[in-house]
Chain A
Amino acid sequence: MFSLALAGYPVFCFQSSGKASRQITDSLGRKVILKGRADKVLSLQPEITRIVIALGAGERLVGVDYFILKHDHLFPIIFPEGRKLPAVSNTPEDMNFEMVMKLEPDIIFVSPTELQMVDSLQSKVQRPVVALASMGSFDKLLEEIKLVGRMLGREERAAELVNDFLSRIEAVRKSVSSISPGEKPRVYMSFWGSLTRTPVTYEPVDTAGGINCATGILPAYLGTIATVVQLEQIVAWQPDVFLVQGNYPPRERPVTVEDVLLDKRFGSLPAVRNRKVFYTFGYWYWWDPAEVLVETLYLARLFHPEVAAPVGLETEGNEIFKKYYGIEGGFSSLCRVLECGRWDEE
């Protein structure tokens, strides 16, 4: 019996008959049984979709969700053939159960924030439904990679990615370890198109040696890490660095760096006075492992430029994208789409 229990998160064990039948506990604590190999994967959770591709199992995808197909700027870069995949909705309101049945998936991944959909999908479609998300935590992200690797029979590849991720993160942690808490910049993030929406926990910032101003605040919506703060709270925090989500091309950005710099209400913020208002990737529907890695490296350079990095950001970025997705110049392509060429000039 081969079993691996990890702090109550996913549990996996082989049956002695030799035919692999796995029981998994997902992010919602549901126990899901998967029989046999997962050859057809329907992923309605963009983060999982990206992980599946990174594991080299992209061809097993039979369907994805609307967001990643129509609105995600990274997807066409890392998986161009994904354009042809059918899009199944990822909200309960317009779930097309018939289409799901037609695709005959062996496993369906959904986001744990869509609680109603999880149960209705399971009961209507009678196929294994797994709710997984990293919830803004590196540990959970890495566990996810391992879990999906196991379910798709790509354990070795998963281990490779996890080790790579960990070693790079460790390098960053080490480089900022000498910095005392008093010297760490206090960071406020304006995400999701609004000045006042911010994540209560964001590991890239923590890892890169920054302090998230919103730490300790209750999320506005259960099951998420997002909250809405009051404008005067932002002024009260007096952040040293102000990050704006720039995960989409300039024409789509409701909030821009210029907006923040010119906003008279923020005139007293150290971030504005010292012009430390920058874009960062942020996320929508959780992370892309390669992208979040690059983001962490980028933020480390941003917060602590005095701690010299071994290689230029673009070079290292492309290296990471190649490792994960096997493509050349992936990071540069992404930067072109997001028009963030100037980020590297810091």
Chain B
Amino acid sequence: MKNKKAKILTVLLFLLPFLLTLASLSIGRFHIPQKDLGRAIIRAISPSAGPEVSTAYQDILFRIRLPRLLLALMAGAALSVSGASLQALFKNPLVNEYILGISFGAAFGAALSLVFLGKNFPAQITAFVFALGAVLAVLLISGRSESHTVSLLLTGIIVSAFFQALLSLVEFFANPYALQSLFFWLMGSLSLATWKDLSISLPIMAVGVVALIMMRWRLNVLSLSEEEAKAMGVNVRREKLLVILLTSMITAAATAVAGVIGWIGLIVPHLVRMMVGADNRKVIPLSAALGASVLIIADDITRVAATFEIPIGILTSIIGIPFFIILLRRSRKVWL
């Protein structure tokens, strides 16, 4: 009986992001009447069916709201799965998806584009490139060291600090117009994503998230000590590298188009573990679903709360923390 209930809840949780996306199409400061919403969706599916809908409605629904919602869904899933995977890999609850230098690498890349390189090198591309560059630097530097896990984390901190310094340098030389654009980017926002941006970043995130979900059981084994895992037949270095590359790829893709959105990769996996336990077979996919839902809800709030945009990173923490506190009180022991 309990099993059946758990199964139903799980199915619901997986459906939640998609239901939220559909519901969120009607949310926004610009009121679109329900019947027009319905008509617009019908028209989108089959272009000549049904009565005409104004172009303004169509543009708002499908060129502004829908890409934004899909980005929220995918980025929420990507960041949460990343955080959850890395927490298992590094056996550390304090780890988040930015730990290997991605946030500052991406920020520096964006700064470079916005301040020096201009339109020919869009910020999304340079951000992505430098985010991955930071991770590669971390991997190369910590290379073949004895306690690989610890050195990866430490090197991640150092590389982050390095890019942070470079970022400050770029800010110093920037003219105020570029600086403004940069600050806007750094605060994290889903608002300016276009279909063009998404056409590249969404598939990347999708591929990575699916791959990591497929590796969900393997992460249990990888969360053991390197010695044990190796003795059990796992090529630890190689698989660890694979996980790191996959998480980096999806985090970089999310950060490149949405800026730095903190808290999701740290809090969502913890919430999920508190609810269902440590087994990554459940934790990884549920983190994706919950992360997507949280980000969609946060984005909905930013869109209606005020006339101006509230940076989404602030909202994710405001939403997450009360849940965290409630669950902390009645959670089982997850970390040893």
B192 contact from A196, A268, A284, Cβ within 8 A: A196
Determine if B9 is an interface residue (Cβ-Cβ < 8 Å). no
Contacts of B3 in A (CB 8 A): none
B64 contact from A197, A220, A231, A252, Cβ within 8 A: A231
Determine if B52 is an interface residue (Cβ-Cβ < 8 Å). no
The contact size tier of chain B is 20 to 34
Check B55 against A268 for contact (C-beta < 8 Å). Answer: yes
Check B54 against A268 for contact (C-beta < 8 Å). Answer: yes
A238 to B55, CA, bound (A): 11
Check A264 against B308 for contact (C-beta < 8 Å). Answer: no
Check B181 against A194 for contact (C-beta < 8 Å). Answer: yes
Check B309 against A236 for contact (C-beta < 8 Å). Answer: no
Q: With A231-B191, A254-B181 as given contacts, are A265 and B64 in contact (CB-CB < 8 Å)? A: yes
A250-266: contact bitstring with B at CB < 8 Å (1 yes, 0 no)? 01101000000001111
Determine if A230 is an interface residue (Cβ-Cβ < 8 Å). yes
Minimal beta-carbon separation of B183 from chain A (angstroms):
10
Check B29 against A284 for contact (C-beta < 8 Å). Answer: no
Check A230 against B29 for contact (C-beta < 8 Å). Answer: yes
Contacts of B65 in A (CB 8 A): 232
Check B178 against A254 for contact (C-beta < 8 Å). Answer: yes
Determine if B176 is an interface residue (Cβ-Cβ < 8 Å). yes
Check B178 against A265 for contact (C-beta < 8 Å). Answer: no
Q: In the complex, which residues 301-325 of chain A have their Cβ closer than 8 Å to any Cβ of chain B?
A: none
Number of A-B contacts (CB under 8 A): 94
Determine if B59 is an interface residue (Cβ-Cβ < 8 Å). yes
A254 to B192, CA, bound (A): 13
B191 contact from A192, A230, A235, A251, Cβ within 8 A: A230
Determine if A71 is an interface residue (Cβ-Cβ < 8 Å). yes
The contact size tier of chain A is 20 to 34
B60 contact from A70, A236, A251, Cβ within 8 A: A236
Contacts of A263 in B (CB 8 A): 194
Central interface residue in A232, A251, A254, A267, by most chain B CB within 10 Å: A232
Contacts of A252 in B (CB 8 A): 118, 175, 177-178
Check B178 against A193 for contact (C-beta < 8 Å). Answer: yes
Determine if B232 is an interface residue (Cβ-Cβ < 8 Å). no
Contacts of A218 in B (CB 8 A): 306-308
A70 to B176, CA, bound (A): 10
A201-233: contact bitstring with B at CB < 8 Å (1 yes, 0 no)? 000000000000000011010000001111111
Q: In the complex, which residues 285-321 of chain B have their Cβ closer than 8 Å to any Cβ of chain A?
A: 303, 306-309
Minimal beta-carbon separation of A199 from chain B (angstroms):
13
A194 contact from B64, B180, B195, B303, Cβ within 8 A: B180
Central interface residue in B28, B177, B181, by most chain A CB within 10 Å: B177
Check A67 against B176 for contact (C-beta < 8 Å). Answer: yes
Check B308 against A229 for contact (C-beta < 8 Å). Answer: yes
Determine if B56 is an interface residue (Cβ-Cβ < 8 Å). yes
Check B29 against A248 for contact (C-beta < 8 Å). Answer: no
Contacts of B177 in A (CB 8 A): 192-193, 248, 252, 254, 284
A176-208: contact bitstring with B at CB < 8 Å (1 yes, 0 no)? 000000000000000011111100000000000
Contacts of A254 in B (CB 8 A): 114, 119, 177-178, 181
* CB nearest neighbor in B for A192: B180
Check B308 against A228 for contact (C-beta < 8 Å). Answer: yes
Determine if B184 is an interface residue (Cβ-Cβ < 8 Å). yes
B63 contact from A220, A265, A284, Cβ within 8 A: A265
Minimal beta-carbon separation of A294 from chain B (angstroms):
20
B205-228: contact bitstring with A at CB < 8 Å (1 yes, 0 no)? 000000000000000000000000
A192 to B176, CA, bound (A): 8
Minimal beta-carbon separation of A216 from chain B (angstroms):
9
A233 to B307, CA, bound (A): 9
Minimal beta-carbon separation of B168 from chain A (angstroms):
10
Q: With A236-B30, A254-B114 as given contacts, are A268 and B180 in contact (CB-CB < 8 Å)? A: no
Q: In the complex, which residues 167-206 of chain B have their Cβ closer than 8 Å to any Cβ of chain A?
A: 175-178, 180-181, 184, 191-192, 194-195
Chain A residues in contact with chain B, CB under 8 A?
Answer: 67, 70-71, 192-197, 217-218, 220, 227-233, 235-236, 238, 248, 251-252, 254, 263-268, 284-285
13 contacts between A and B (CB under 8 A): A192-B177, A194-B184, A218-B307, A228-B184, A229-B307, A230-B191, A233-B29, A235-B60, A252-B175, A254-B119, A254-B177, A265-B63, A268-B58
